[in-house]
Structure 1
Amino acid sequence: MREHDLSNARWRRSSYSNGDGGNCVEVADGILVRDSKAKDGPVLLLSNSAWADFLDTLRH
Protein backbone atom coordinates (compact mmCIF):
# COMPACT_ATOMS: atom_id res chain seq x y z
CA MET A 1 0.00 0.00 0.00
CA ARG A 2 1.26 3.47 -0.88
CA GLU A 3 1.30 6.12 1.85
CA HIS A 4 0.37 9.75 1.14
CA ASP A 5 1.11 12.80 3.28
CA LEU A 6 -2.30 14.30 4.07
CA SER A 7 -1.10 16.82 6.65
CA ASN A 8 -1.60 19.76 4.27
CA ALA A 9 -4.92 18.62 2.82
CA ARG A 10 -7.59 21.35 2.91
CA TRP A 11 -10.80 19.48 3.73
CA ARG A 12 -14.25 20.84 2.85
CA ARG A 13 -17.41 19.42 4.41
CA SER A 14 -20.42 18.59 2.30
CA SER A 15 -22.93 21.42 1.97
CA TYR A 16 -25.57 18.83 2.92
CA SER A 17 -24.04 18.42 6.37
CA ASN A 18 -26.27 19.75 9.12
CA GLY A 19 -23.49 19.94 11.71
CA ASP A 20 -24.99 17.45 14.15
CA GLY A 21 -22.56 14.62 13.43
CA GLY A 22 -24.78 12.97 10.85
CA ASN A 23 -23.63 11.10 7.77
CA CYS A 24 -21.28 13.48 5.97
CA VAL A 25 -18.30 13.36 3.70
CA GLU A 26 -15.43 15.76 3.37
CA VAL A 27 -13.38 16.29 0.23
CA ALA A 28 -9.96 17.80 -0.33
CA ASP A 29 -7.93 18.76 -3.35
CA GLY A 30 -6.36 15.76 -4.82
CA ILE A 31 -9.29 14.32 -4.91
CA LEU A 32 -9.52 12.92 -1.40
CA VAL A 33 -12.72 11.75 0.30
CA ARG A 34 -13.26 10.76 3.96
CA ASP A 35 -16.00 10.29 6.54
CA SER A 36 -16.31 13.54 8.50
CA LYS A 37 -16.83 11.60 11.73
CA ALA A 38 -13.63 9.58 11.30
CA LYS A 39 -10.98 12.17 10.53
CA ASP A 40 -8.18 9.69 11.27
CA GLY A 41 -9.93 6.89 9.37
CA PRO A 42 -9.45 5.69 5.81
CA VAL A 43 -9.28 8.13 2.90
CA LEU A 44 -10.22 7.47 -0.71
CA LEU A 45 -7.85 8.92 -3.31
CA LEU A 46 -9.66 9.37 -6.62
CA SER A 47 -8.51 10.50 -10.05
CA ASN A 48 -10.11 13.65 -11.46
CA SER A 49 -12.02 11.57 -14.02
CA ALA A 50 -13.32 9.16 -11.33
CA TRP A 51 -14.49 12.13 -9.24
CA ALA A 52 -16.21 13.70 -12.27
CA ASP A 53 -17.94 10.37 -13.03
CA PHE A 54 -19.06 10.10 -9.39
CA LEU A 55 -20.54 13.64 -9.42
CA ASP A 56 -22.20 13.00 -12.77
CA THR A 57 -23.83 9.86 -11.36
CA LEU A 58 -25.13 11.79 -8.35
CA ARG A 59 -26.64 14.48 -10.59
CA HIS A 60 -28.59 11.90 -12.59
Structure 2
Amino acid sequence: MIAGSGPLLVGVLHEAAGGWSLPYLLIFAVLGAQLLAGLYAGRDRYLEDELAPARLAG
Protein backbone atom coordinates (compact mmCIF):
# COMPACT_ATOMS: atom_id res chain seq x y z
CA MET A 1 0.00 0.00 0.00
CA ILE A 2 2.88 2.35 0.71
CA ALA A 3 4.58 1.69 -2.63
CA GLY A 4 1.29 1.99 -4.49
CA SER A 5 0.70 5.47 -3.13
CA GLY A 6 3.98 6.76 -4.59
CA PRO A 7 2.82 7.27 -8.19
CA LEU A 8 -0.40 8.85 -6.98
CA LEU A 9 1.52 11.25 -4.73
CA VAL A 10 3.89 12.17 -7.56
CA GLY A 11 0.93 12.86 -9.83
CA VAL A 12 -0.80 15.00 -7.23
CA LEU A 13 2.39 16.95 -6.59
CA HIS A 14 2.90 17.43 -10.33
CA GLU A 15 -0.59 18.85 -10.72
CA ALA A 16 -0.35 21.03 -7.61
CA ALA A 17 3.08 22.44 -8.45
CA GLY A 18 2.45 22.75 -12.17
CA GLY A 19 5.75 21.09 -13.02
CA TRP A 20 8.20 18.39 -12.14
CA SER A 21 10.38 20.26 -9.62
CA LEU A 22 8.47 19.26 -6.50
CA PRO A 23 7.93 15.60 -7.48
CA TYR A 24 11.63 15.25 -8.33
CA LEU A 25 12.56 16.82 -5.02
CA LEU A 26 10.41 14.25 -3.22
CA ILE A 27 11.91 11.38 -5.24
CA PHE A 28 15.47 12.50 -4.49
CA ALA A 29 14.67 12.97 -0.79
CA VAL A 30 13.33 9.41 -0.59
CA LEU A 31 16.35 8.19 -2.56
CA GLY A 32 18.70 9.88 -0.09
CA ALA A 33 16.90 8.31 2.88
CA GLN A 34 17.08 4.88 1.25
CA LEU A 35 20.77 5.36 0.48
CA LEU A 36 21.57 6.23 4.09
CA ALA A 37 19.51 3.29 5.38
CA GLY A 38 21.24 0.94 2.95
CA LEU A 39 24.70 2.13 3.91
CA TYR A 40 23.85 1.73 7.59
CA ALA A 41 22.38 -1.74 7.10
CA GLY A 42 25.24 -2.93 4.89
CA ARG A 43 28.15 -1.85 7.08
CA ASP A 44 30.73 -4.39 8.22
CA ARG A 45 29.98 -5.81 11.64
CA TYR A 46 31.54 -8.53 13.70
CA LEU A 47 29.91 -10.43 16.52
CA GLU A 48 32.01 -11.71 19.36
CA ASP A 49 31.24 -15.22 20.56
CA GLU A 50 31.41 -15.03 24.34
CA LEU A 51 31.18 -18.81 24.70
CA ALA A 52 34.11 -19.58 22.37
CA PRO A 53 36.79 -19.75 25.12
CA ALA A 54 34.61 -22.08 27.20
CA ARG A 55 34.08 -24.41 24.24
CA LEU A 56 37.78 -24.51 23.46
CA ALA A 57 38.72 -25.26 27.06
CA GLY A 58 36.52 -28.21 27.08
Q: Would the TM-score normalized by the shorter structure come out above 0.5? A: no
TM-score (norm 1): 0.30
More relative contact order in 1 or in 2 (CA 8 Å, sep 6+)? 1
Q: Taking structure 2 as the reference length, what is the TM-score of the superposition?
A: 0.31
Larger Rg: 2
The structure carrying a bigger strand percent of its residues is 1
